[in-house]
């Protein structure tokens, strides 16, 4: 049985704000006068997540804060066998909050560059925009993306009760500007949210997407268009979108012939790692090493990584398997 921490991985769905080590959060909170409890509160569904997320946001204020969490993200991912990550960051919202639209993203990109030098984990950034927030901020998000080569994509996140339609012109403009588009859809909301994301929303990949299973015709469409799903089992369970890891729909997504990738979404908040997510698939669902390697390859193929990176990680996955 191979060590899954050494399986070379691409990590496509992970929010930087939800990767912050608790010890780091306490130190940063302390320096900025924000009280942080000794231990994270146990997560109570989506409301609990919003509370945790808002605590993290209120702690992150300076260039050094953003730089540190980005750098530590690389170190933590290296320990998971991650070779390449596309990390989501809500840059425009942080910029508004700290009163400088460019500082948070600039600090994160610098921190990721330092992290790459130290740990070898290559990264690109996805700028997410909450569906609850104004369209103007989504345009500001696209503006940031266009000005930074390390930003490969933008997309909608947040409460799926809010429709994606108001943002359609932003994502059309993104595709015109060769900025990729990836939306959260089919997590809380049903098949309709997936349909909107992949048609007028212009999504090239789906964040979560598990509720595509609600509609067999949509399953066929997503499969035929080759759209990959960024599946995050432990997050789905913690936030109440799947009853348990054992009953998670991931095996059914595979049976339906969909392109599945494995991700953590909010690892620090729910105390998981990318290796643990692969391990659950081995222990709870009986996936073989060859099948787990296929999932790792899916993530490389669905990524926006440069061709040389993709080739290198594919070779490393083959070596792991043989
Ligand atoms: Zn997410």
Written as one string, the DSSP assignment of 23-80 is HHHHHHHHHTT----SSPPPP-HHHHHHHHHHHHHHH--SHHHHHHHHHHHHHHHHTT
Question: 277-322, pLDDT tens digit by residue?
Answer: 999 999 999 999 999 999 999 999 999 999 999 999 999 999 999 9
Compute CA distances 148 → 100, 120, 152, 173, 311, whole Å.
Answer: 16, 21, 9, 16, 24
Q: What pLDDT does 102 receive?
A: 97
Q: How far apart are CA 220 and CA 272, in angstroms?
A: 31
Ligand 1 centroid from CA 263, angstroms: 9
Is pLDDT at 43 greater than 80 in this prediction? no
Domain map (residue ranges) of the chain? 4-321
Q: What pLDDT does 198 receive?
A: 96
Residue 1 binned pLDDT confidence (cut-offs 50, 70, 90) = confident
Residue 229 is encoded by which pair of tokens?
Answer: 């799903």
Ligand 1 centroid from CA 265, angstroms: 5
Ligand 1 centroid from CA 103, angstroms: 23
Q: What is the CATH number of domain 4-321?
A: 3.20.20.140
Ligand 1 centroid from CA 64, angstroms: 25
238: left (phi over 0), alpha (psi -120 to 50) or beta: alpha
Ligand 1 centroid from CA 242, angstroms: 15
Compute CA distances 151 → 15, 93, 104, 172, whole Å.
Answer: 14, 16, 13, 17
Q: How far apart are CA 186 and CA 99, in angstroms?
A: 34
Ligand 1 centroid from CA 319, angstroms: 31
Tell how many helices (H) and how many strands (E) occur in the chain.
15, 8
Mean pLDDT in the chain?
A: 96
Sign of the four-CA dihedral 257, 262, 266, 272:
positive
Q: How far apart are CA 113 and CA 173, in angstroms?
A: 28
> Which residue out of 72, 160, 187, 204 is catalytically annotated?
187
Ligand 1 centroid from CA 132, angstroms: 15
Ligand 1 centroid from CA 208, angstroms: 7
Q: How far apart are CA 193 and CA 55, in angstroms?
A: 29
In the numeric block, the tokens 């290296």 are attached to 78
Ligand 1 centroid from CA 187, angstroms: 9
Share above pLDDT 90 across residues of the chain, in percent, rounded to a whole number: 92
Question: 234-269, pLDDT tens digit by residue?
Answer: 999 999 999 999 999 999 999 999 999 999 999 999
Chain centroid to Cα 164, Å, comes to 18
What pTM was computed for the model? Answer: 0.97
187 is catalytic: yes
Ligand 1 centroid from CA 224, angstroms: 24
Question: Is residue 79 a contact partner of residue 71, using CB atoms and an 8 Å limit?
Answer: no
């Amino acid at each position: 049985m191979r060590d899954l921490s050494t399986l070379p991985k691409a990590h496509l769905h992970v929010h930087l704000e939800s990767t912050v080590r608790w010890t780091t959060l306490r130190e940063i909170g302390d320096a900025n006068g924000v009280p942080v409890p000794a231990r994270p509160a146990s997560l109570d569904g989506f409301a609990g997540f919003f509370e945790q997320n808002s605590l993290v946001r209120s702690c992150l204020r300076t260039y050094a804060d953003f730089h540190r969490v980005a750098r530590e993200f690389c170190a933590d991912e290296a320990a998971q066998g991650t070779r390449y990550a596309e990390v989501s960051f809500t840059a425009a919202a942080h910029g508004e909050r700290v009163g400088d639209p460019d500082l948070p993203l600039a600090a994160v990109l610098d921190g990721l560059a330092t992290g790459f030098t130290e740990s070898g984990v290559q990264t690109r950034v996805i700028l997410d925009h909450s569906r609850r927030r104004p369209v103007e901020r989504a345009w500001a998000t696209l503006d940031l993306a266009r000005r930074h080569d390390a930003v490969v994509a933008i997309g909608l996140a947040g409460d799926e009760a809010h429709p994606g339609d108001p943002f359609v012109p932003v994502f059309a403009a993104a595709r015109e500007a060769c900025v990729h588009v990836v939306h959260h859809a089919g997590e809380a909301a049903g098949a309709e949210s997936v349909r909107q994301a992949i048609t007028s929303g212009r999504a090239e990949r789906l964040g979560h997407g598990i509720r595509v299973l609600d509609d067999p015709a949509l399953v066929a469409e997503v499969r035929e268009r080759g759209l990959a799903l960024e599946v995050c089992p432990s997050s789905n369970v913690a936030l109440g979108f799947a009853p348990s890891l054992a009953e998670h729909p991931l095996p059914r997504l595979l049976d339906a012939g969909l392109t599945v990738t494995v991700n953590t979404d909010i690892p620090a908040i729910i105390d998981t790692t990318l290796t643990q997510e692969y391990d659950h698939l081995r222990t709870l669902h009986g996936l073989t090493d060859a099948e787990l390697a296929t999932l790792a390859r899916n993530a490389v193929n669905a990524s926006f990584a440069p061709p040389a990176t993709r080739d290198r990680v594919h070779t490393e996955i083959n070596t792991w398997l043989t």
